Amino acid sequence: MINEIKSYEFEEIERRCQERWRAEGTFEVSEDPTRPKFYCLEMLPYPSGDIHVGHVRNYCITDVVTRFKRMRGFNVLHPIGWDALGLPAENAAIKHGTHPEGWTRSNIASMKAQLQRLGFSYAWSREIATCDASYYRWNQWFFLKMLERGIAYRANSPVNWCPSCLTVLANEQAEGGLCWRCRSVIEIRDMEQWFLRITDYQDALLDDMEELSAWPERVLQQQRNWVGRSEGAEVSFPTEDGGTIRIFTTRIDTIYGATFCLLAPEHPLVDQLMNGAPKESALTLARLRGQDRRARLAGQVEKEGLFTGRYAKNPFSGERIPIWVGNFVLMGYGTGAIMAVPAHDERDFEFARKYGLRVHPVIQSPEGALDGATMTEAYTGPGVVTGSAEFDGLASEIAVEKMSAHASAHGFGGVKTAYRLKDWLISRQRYWGTPIPVVYCDKDGVVGVREADLPVILPPDAPFTGEGGNPLEKVETFVRATCPKCGGPARRETDTMDTFVDSSWYFYRYCSPTTEDAPFDKAAVRYWFPIDLYVGGIEHAILHLVYSRFWTKVMRDLGLIDWSEPAARLFPQGMVHKDGEVMSKSKGNTIAPDDVIKRYGADTLRLYILFAAPPELSMEWSETGIEGPHRFLLRVWRVVHKRAGTASRGRDFASLSENGAALRRRVHQTIARVTADIDERIHLNTAVAALMELTNDIYRLEEGLTGDSDEAALGEALDTLVLLLSPFAPHACEQMWSDLGHPKSLVDEAWPEADQAAMREDANEVAVQVNGRIRGRVMVPALADEAAHKALALAEPGVKAQVEGKTLVKAIIVPGRLVNLVVK
RNA sequence: GCCAGAGUGGCGAAAUUGGCAGACGCAGCGGACUUAAAAUCCGCAGACCCGGAAGGGUCGUAAGGGUUCGAUUCCCUUCUCUGGCACCA
């Protein structure tokens, strides 16, 4: 007789579960030294207004891991917060005549409701918003500490300016010359700005990667490129008028081939060298300096230069070489000056040919000797050094060492390392950010605000007119300040901090979000750190993920913590595409999670998003694909409810039928698979697939079950299925768990353990190959030895036919899997 | 140009350490149930060839080559795509 099956009313089930988790504070945690801890983190979202599918994908991954680890006995911290300061809020305020804070707060409220509808396991009591003064005051506190130590400094330098966002940007945020936020072409302007000395940590950022073995190689590689360490040498070329040109080179082995020197147009020596040069040269120089520096940086401008009229001496050869200015030499890298070796550098070669300068080869290519007059391209590979006095005959690598040592011994140079990384420009000429806590005093200059006077609060009454300029400048009560040193009148800094400052340390704040006398409680942080799993978008590989590694190192040097890296494991999830394109607001191809939840429920959405592709690859959103996981959930629901209320069926498996034994095998094999998939590889798609297979097996086997032991096996199967599925579809599983007759909430149940004995097969189907081609399959008892495998294989009729009349040369046997018979 | 990653059925994908390629799902086809449809349940399903069928054979993981008894997996060459960096000396 068939029971009436309760229908799956996901809306009601999900609402009830979520209410219960909230009311009972199910996912709230505190430090508990008696249990292993697990810190599971996702990158905090910017409150743009709506949760999109990309967020959902990110948070589904962490939610599964959180619930899984919790059931495995870990004390799991899974917090969430809001990266709440930033330009979009300010732009929205200008557009709608409101205040950025109101816009931000209402976005947070609606996004929070959306997250709750998805049933994520957050410790909501630890929620933070970076726009709270109780949070950003610690940005200011950190800034003051860095100011004291010279890590924060103010300097005039060429900086990236976004003409649309009306603010400067850090190097990391000028992606390929475009603003990371609005894609406008950035300009380079000379401005006095605040920087953080991230370059003090450039070696640490590279060397500490040794600790990041659980970070993906592609992220580390990107960061390595970004830091751009390159080992070379610095050499001083004396000029004829008693000056010195310092050049950086990675190819000191080619120095005897240097036929001229090149300076960047902005190089400080240029004016002096050009003193008295003909007017026409001065005009050319002015033109080179006026060239768009961004385009020059990107190599989009034709190589051009001019002769200064002066000469320098090659300190190795003593040769007199002309000094030129070249527009492709960058002031921001190395020393802003190079020795030009046209024979062995493509750019120098191109320049030399254009201006008829000498090409003088000093490295023998494997094809033989080179002729400077006739060569058509530079030879840039390594080789044997020639025409270089006592260094002749050395291989490039050896010559580099010897020549560097020579320069060092004679006091005109030595080994030197150059970096691509620039200091982090953190000032922003906008309102909705953390005020930089300094004042300008006519008497004392730049003075940090007293720690006791923090926070410097954003004045709520700033005018958002959209006329350009920082609204803070127009708030007189804010700008007018008192100098902490002399007590005299001072002007307050109106620049605010890059919002990447906020996100550089927020994960420490989660450990003690209400601590008032420090950025965080040291003991709490010591308990929870490091972050065990950090999941977020790959687009932060060199932004947030460099900044936060830097910040942790600074905190270590401030004595706040005693480790150097914040996250033990990083897992960048793939992006969500629709119709082959990245899903984004600007493309108008976004999917609203709310609509999907309404139609299928949160559990189906979660299952679908995790099943569709492995989490680290991009996934293609498909409207029809979601039907599969939904049908799966319904299938589980039906098979569970056929047996509702039968939780206490015992665990006596003494007299299992064949089907019963098969079912138990499948159950325990599935436990092993799902556990490994979540715990080790985070391959959640195959974990879901394994659960689908188990469900199919239950359907297939349940009809043939008889007797108490079989009933017990079925009970075990259903319980296990629900437990294993629960991190993916927590609401439906909570309901099914209760309907099966379990009184306790499922989130506190222990994760099932695979029983090795129960999962072992009695016999395995073994593939039999003859000369590497499959010719048959045989059933072989589980513990059969190699001889038995061979005998069974040879007895198989299809195999027999292939082997007959031939000599068996060799038999390769992989027990339980395969036999390969090699015959001649 | 340099660096990293990827390329598997109509589609999303799987294959844990070199050992049965295509699990699981979508779309499709067939059957059962139904007055009928939907839903559900049970099947079929890489391509090509032979065969009435049962079955058998050949090819097949971007392309070509190599190592191996055996290669989606390791090595070499080439192509394509994605991401990052790029006149960085």
The pLDDT value recorded for residue A648 is 64
Instruction: List the A646 CA – B34 C1' distance (angstroms).
Output: 32
The pLDDT value recorded for residue A381 is 85
Q: Which nucleotides of B are covered by protein (CB under 7 A)?
A: 3-5, 11-16, 19-21, 23-27, 39-43, 56-58, 69-71, 83-89
For residue A301, give the nucleotide whose C1' atom is nearest its CA: B87
> What ranges in A558-657 are assigned the alpha helix state H?
593-600, 602-611, 627-641
The most confident of A150-154, A185-189, A579-583, A617-621, by mean pLDDT: A150-154
Does the nearest atom of strand B lie within 7 Å of A202's Cβ? no
With contact defined as beta carbons under 8 Å apart, do A567 and A39 qualify? no
H or E element at residue A482 = strand A480-482
The pLDDT value recorded for residue A558 is 97
Does the nearest atom of strand B lie within 7 Å of A57's Cβ? no
The pLDDT value recorded for residue A639 is 93
With contact defined as beta carbons under 8 Å apart, do A45 and A111 qualify? yes
pLDDT tens-place string over residues A368-411: 778 888 888 888 888 899 999 999 999 998 999 999 999 999 99
The pLDDT value recorded for residue A146 is 98
Does the nearest atom of strand B lie within 7 Å of A638's Cβ? yes
Does the nearest atom of strand B lie within 7 Å of A175's Cβ? yes
The pLDDT value recorded for residue A292 is 78
Q: Which ipTM did the prediction report?
A: 0.94
Residue A500: pLDDT band by 50, 70, 90 thresholds?
Answer: very high
List the single range of A305-314, A521-530, A531-540, A560-569 with lowest mean pLDDT. Answer: A531-540
Instruction: List the A17 CA – B3 C1' distance (angstroms).
Output: 48
Does the nearest atom of strand B lie within 7 Å of A797's Cβ? no
Integer angstrom CA distances of residue A369 from A251, A252, A350, A359:
19, 20, 20, 14
Does the nearest atom of strand B lie within 7 Å of A820's Cβ? yes
CB-based contacts of A134: which residues, under 8 Å, 6+ apart?
A455, A514, A516
Q: Which tokens hold the place of A758? A: 């129960």
3-state secondary structure of A427: strand
For residue A542, give the nucleotide whose C1' atom is nearest its CA: B84
- Count of positions (residues) in chain A: 824
Does the pLDDT at position A2 exceed 60? no
Instruction: List the A345 CA – B79 C1' distance (angstroms).
Output: 29
Integer angstrom CA distances of residue A452 from A316, A448, A572:
59, 11, 40
| Rounded Cα gap, residues A824 and A822, in angstroms | 7
Instruction: List the A807 CA – B82 C1' distance (angstroms).
Output: 51
The pLDDT value recorded for residue A806 is 80
The pLDDT value recorded for residue A4 is 55
Instruction: List the A225 CA – B3 C1' distance (angstroms).
Output: 8
Q: Which tokens hold the place of A252? A: 């000191």
Does the nearest atom of strand B lie within 7 Å of A218's Cβ? yes
CA A12 to chain centre: 37
Closest alpha carbon to C1' of B18, residue: A814
Closest alpha carbon to C1' of B13, residue: A613
With contact defined as beta carbons under 8 Å apart, do A362 and A344 qualify? yes
The pLDDT value recorded for residue A183 is 81
Closest alpha carbon to C1' of B24, residue: A689
With contact defined as beta carbons under 8 Å apart, do A120 and A83 qualify? no
With contact defined as beta carbons under 8 Å apart, do A152 and A409 qualify? no
| Rounded average pLDDT over A683-708 | 92
| Rounded Cα gap, residues A539 and A573, in angstroms | 10
pLDDT tens-place string over residues A725-743: 999 999 999 999 999 999 9
Burial of A273 by CB count in 10 Å (0-12 exposed, 13-18 middle, 19+ buried)? buried
With contact defined as beta carbons under 8 Å apart, do A524 and A512 qualify? yes
* Angle, vertex CA A126, rays to CA A120 and CA A132, nearest 5: 120
pLDDT tens-place string over residues A62-104: 999 999 999 999 999 999 999 999 999 999 999 988 999 999 9
The pLDDT value recorded for residue A3 is 44
Instruction: List the A606 CA – B81 C1' distance (angstroms).
Output: 29
| Rounded Cα gap, residues A330 and A740, in angstroms | 71
For residue A295, give the nucleotide whose C1' atom is nearest its CA: B87
Q: What percent of chain A has pLDDT over 90?
A: 66
pLDDT tens-place string over residues A416-455: 999 999 999 999 999 999 999 999 999 999 999 999 999 9
| Rounded Cα gap, residues A821 and A771, in angstroms | 6
| Rounded Cα gap, residues A548 and A541, in angstroms | 11
Partners of A192 in the beta sheet? A156
Question: What rounded mean pLDDT belongs to chain A?
Answer: 91
Global confidence as pTM: 0.93
The pLDDT value recorded for residue A213 is 87
The pLDDT value recorded for residue A586 is 65
Does the nearest atom of strand B lie within 7 Å of A674's Cβ? no
Does the pLDDT at position A457 exceed 60? yes
Does the nearest atom of strand B lie within 7 Å of A777's Cβ? yes
Of residues 279 to 318 in chain A, which lie within 7 A of strand B by their beta carbon? Answer: 296-299, 301-303
3-state secondary structure of A818: strand
Of residues 221 to 250 in chain A, which lie within 7 A of strand B by their beta carbon? Answer: 221-222, 225-226, 228, 230, 232, 248-250
Residue A568: pLDDT band by 50, 70, 90 thresholds?
Answer: very high
Instruction: List the A214 CA – B75 C1' distance (angstroms).
Output: 27
Q: What is the largest CA-CA distance in chain A?
A: 108
Does the nearest atom of strand B lie within 7 Å of A675's Cβ? no
pLDDT tens-place string over residues A170-223: 888 887 778 888 888 888 888 999 999 999 999 999 999 989 988 988 888 889
List the single range of A34-38, A255-259, A419-423, A749-753 with lowest mean pLDDT. Answer: A419-423
For residue A819, give the nucleotide whose C1' atom is nearest its CA: B19
The pLDDT value recorded for residue A336 is 93
Does the pLDDT at position A456 exceed 90? yes
Axis crossing angle, helix A602-611 with helix A593-600, rounded to the nearest 10: 110
